[in-house]
Chains A and B, each alone.
Chain A
């Protein structure tokens, strides 16, 4: 099956610093990747959609200058949380949808990255 990895799996950083999270599709090329955020005991909330080689599309209420998304290749997307604050502490999850050969209706999710800002 299609595999999506995330790195790191967890990170602790100090308030005011920036953190980069990587999302990789390991065995397929992902034309589109999605970034979600999930607070404790809540559902996933879509933050943005990124397509390879173009600017990400952010959901309403998500600050694009704070959550920088780069989708430089068909197998890698990165989310950078800039000037992180404690309220940014959350579980960040990426997903990818693939090219022909994989069902266009399935999204493949990474294992998530738990960010704690102290």
Chain B
């Protein structure tokens, strides 16, 4: 699977939007961009995924660059419960389902 690059950490204030970037310059045409997050002392949870078009769900939005070499996870109004490590992972359609977790971005939300 192609590699992703994320900042080690980011900070936000409560109720403000948060934009978490992810670079994946070697992405292939069949790679889906997945985001998971892990709250402290818990297992990860799925956040969102997309291929080419921007995606929205109840948790977040995913903005994908036109060349697909980067993407941004958007939390529209951060809450204290959004403090977690966010992982950007590429999965190839029809390929292995294995998730390869990098170091992710640790998001701190200030009250």
Q: From DSSP, what is the main secondary structure of chain A's interface residues?
A: strand
B49 near A109: Cβ-Cβ < 8 Å: no
How far is B28's CA from A30's CA once the two chains are assembled, in angstroms? 28
Q: Which of A32, A46, A109 contacts B44 (CB 8 A)?
A: A109
CB of B24 within 8 Å of the partner chain? no
- Counting contact residues on chain A (CB < 8 A from B), the size range is 20 to 34
Interface hit among B14-22, B65-73, B76-84, B100-108: B100-108
Write out the residue numbers on chain B whose beta carbons fall within 8 Å of the beta carbon of A109: 43-45
A110 contacts which chain B residues (CB < 8 A)?
A: 43
Report yes or no: A112 in contact with B42, Cβ–Cβ below 8 A.
yes
**Which of A12-20, A71-79, A80-88, A100-108 lies at the interface with chain B?**
A100-108
- Write out, one digit per residue, whether chain B residues 21-60 have a CB within 8 A of any chain A CB (1) or not (0): 0000000000010101010011111100100000000000
Bound-state CA distance A29–B97 (Å) is: 16
Q: Are A43 and B104 in touch, CB under 8 angstroms?
A: yes
B45: which A residues are within 8 A, CB to CB?
109
**B99, A46: Cβ atoms under 8 Å?**
yes
B42 lies within 8 A of A107 (CB): no
A84 to B82, CA, bound (A): 35
Name A106's closest neighbour in chain B (CB-CB). B46
Closest to A108 in B: B46
Q: Which residue of A lies closest to B104 (CB)?
A: A43
Cα distance, A32 to B98, chains bound together (Å): 10
Decide: B99 and A107 in contact? CB cutoff 8 A.
yes
Q: Taking the nearest CB of chain B, how far is it from the CB of A55, in angstroms?
A: 16
Residue on A nearest B51 in the bound complex, by CB: A105
> Among B46, B99, B103, which residue has its beta carbon within 8 angstroms of that of A34?
B99
Residues of A within 8 A of B101 (CB): 36, 43-46
Given contacts A34-B98, A46-B99, 12 further A-B contacts (CB under 8 A): A34-B97, A43-B101, A43-B103, A44-B99, A46-B98, A49-B97, A95-B44, A95-B99, A105-B34, A106-B49, A109-B43, A111-B42
